[in-house]
Amino acid sequence: MLQGQAYHLIGLLRGKILQMFITCLCILAVDFRIYPREYAKTETYVTSLAWQVLLAVRALVLPPTEDIETWRKFASLCRKNGRISQARSTLIKLLQYDPEASPENVRYHGPPQVMLAYLKYQWSLGDDHKRKEAFARLQNLVREFSISLNIQSIASTASTSGTNANVPLLARVYHKLGAWQWSLSPGLDDDSIQEILTALRNATQCATKWAKAWHAWALFNTAVMSHYTLREHIYPGWEGDGISALYLSQLCQSTSSGGMLEFTVWDSETCC
């Protein structure tokens, strides 16, 4: 009798999975017909189709809140490919609340990696007010990390591989903090320069083999040298910092990719 009930339940589960699969395909097909140019430009139709179908089936046995990293990566994929509303809905699902619709006293709390992803989404909107709000919250996130994280654990992970999967979260937060402040402060002054340098330096210290952190550090040192050269004054040592960081960034990038050492030039927008 129990065996018969088990077979019956398995049959129902298979039916639900198949129904969910077909529903996802229908939704994506309609989406593709409505926005064909978007898919043609980004060439992400197949990728998003695979992600959405797999996650829809996966969510039947594992809730998104117990599979945060997978759903966070999906939200990042959506954001980078211009599917902003889908990125937002995915992050809200992970946070289990809508920061924009919640009272002030319950805004911006949740798993740190999801909060960073939400702040990236907020920054990507391009609105000045949203960007300043995202930057202010990122500053709070750094302070929370400084209190909660063990310094020894940071030091132990700093020498890990420079691939994106192994970069410590704190290094990413510091990198975004420096990059966003630089973007919000096009007219550099002494105070903002020191704050940005500190943030970018901390990113390199938290992930010593992360090429992106070293390249941002080198790029900003170059901007600082140009800034003070125009004022006919430059502090000693920044030339060496900029050149050393540029070399380290290319060395890390070459090591992580297994390729030859190539020097490239990034701008401040790439850094952000």
101-134, pLDDT tens digit by residue?
A: 876 666 678 889 999 999 999 999 999 999 999 9
Q: Enter the pTM of the model.
A: 0.69
Instruction: Tell me the two tokens of residue 90.
Output: 């995915």
Q: Domain coordinates of the chain in residue numbers?
A: 149-272
241-255, pLDDT tens digit by residue?
A: 545 545 454 555 554
Lowest-pLDDT choice from 12-21, 68-77, 207-216: 12-21
List Cβ neighbours of 173 (8 Å cut-off, separation of 6 or more): 112, 116, 138, 141, 142, 145
Q: Name which residue leads in pLDDT, 230 or 193.
A: 193
Q: Say if CB 199 and CB 168 are below 8 A apart.
A: no
Q: What is the mean pLDDT of residues 21-45?
A: 52
